Amino acid sequence: MPEARYFKKAVEPLQVSVWKSERRPSGRRVAKCSGLRAQAGGCDMKLAENIYFYPEDPSCDGAVLNAGAVVIDGAQKLIIDPGSEKRLPFLVKRMTADGLDPATLDLALFTHSHPDHLGAGRALRDTFGVAPAMHRLETDFLTGTGFGFNRRSFAREDFTVLEEGEFRFGGHRFHLYLTPGHSPGGLTLHWPEAKLLVVGDVYFQGTFGATDLPGGSEPEMFRTLEKLEKLEDVELVLCGHGPAIAGREAIEENYRVLAREVAMKKAGTWPGYSDLF
C-alpha cells in the first residue's frame, strides 16, 4: 500500500534502532529491537556549548539495551537517561574522553523508568553520588505496578520528584513537560535558550514510541505529540533511540511523518511495524 511505502522511504535511510513490543505465542509481550546498527557520528559527541550526546551504540557501549544519554553542563551538571547498568563504565569512558568528570554530575533526570534509560541509575548514585530524579507519576509507576525492571533498585523516596513546569538547574532555565503515552510519567525537557528538546521514547526519527507496553496509552501518546509539536524554540531534538533530529526543517518533516502514523493508527490502516523495518 502506498502509505507503507511512504514510511519505508522515510525510515530506511536512517540508522535507527527502535524498540517495540512483540506478543509471544503465550500472550506475553516482550521488547524487541528492530535492529541495532551503528550510529553515524562515533562514540563521543559534543553537540553544542554545554550539550553532550551519547547515542546508544553497541560498539561503544559494550551492551545492547541502551538509550541516548544527554549531559548538560553548567554550574551544576545534569545527565539525562544514562542507559543500562552494564553500559555505565563505557559511558564514563566516553564522557571522560570529552573532558567530563562523572563525579561532577549532580542530577540524573530519567525521562521514564524503562531499564534502557534508568538501569544505570543506581550505580550512578552509589558510585558517583548522582541524585536520581523523575516525574512523580513515573516514580509511582516504577515502585507500583511498574514495568517489571528496576523495581527493587529504588524506593520512591530515593527520587527527587519533578513536576511539569519551569525547572531551574545549573544556572539554566528549562521547562519540563509531562508527556505520557509511552510511559505514564514520561518527561520531556525543553531548553528554549539552547533550542533543545529531549524527548526520551516519546518519538524518534520516523516513528513514535511504543504505546502497548505496561502503562502506555495510544490516546495519551496522540495528545503528547500534539503538545510537543506546538513548541517553538526547538532546533535540536535528542531522542532516546536513533539519531538526533537537527534543524527546524527536519523536525517539522518528522512531525509530518508522525502525523501520518497517528492518522493511520486512528483510521485502523496502520500496516504494522514488521512491514516498516
- Piece in contact with Zn ion (CB under 5 A), picked from 152-160, 195-203, 216-224, 225-233: 195-203
Alpha helix locations (H) across 172-244? 218-229
Shortest Å, Cβ 81 to Zn ion: 8
Residues 53-82 as x/- pattern, contact with Zn ion by CB under 5 A: --------------x---------------
Q: Is 138 in the site for Zn ion (CB under 5 A)?
A: no
Query: How many other CB atoms are found less than 10 A from the CB of residue 30?
Result: 9
**73, 201, 220, 261: which one binds Zn ion (CB under 5 A):** 201
How many of the chain's residues bind Zn ion (CB under 5 A)? 5
Nearer to Zn ion, 50 or 239 (CB): 239
**3-class DSSP assignment, residue 245:** strand
Closest distance of CB 103 from Zn ion, Å: 26
Place of cell 549531559: 71
Q: How far is the CB of 117 from Zn ion (least distance, A)?
A: 6
Burial of 26 (0-12, 13-18, 19+ CB in 10 A): exposed
Distance CA 240, CA 32 (A): 15
Strands 172-178 and 165-169, by their bridges, are antiparallel
Q: Scanning residues 222 to 251, which ones bind Zn ion (CB under 5 A)?
A: 240
Rounded to the nearest 5°, which phi and psi values hold at 188? Answer: -115, 135
| Closer Cβ to Zn ion, 67 or 162, answer by number | 67
Between 201 and 220, name the residue whose CB sits nearer to Zn ion: 201
Residue list 112-131, contact with Zn ion (CB under 5 A) = 114, 116
Q: How far is the CB of 201 from Zn ion (least distance, A)?
A: 4
Contact footprint for Zn ion (CB under 5 A): 67, 114, 116, 201, 240
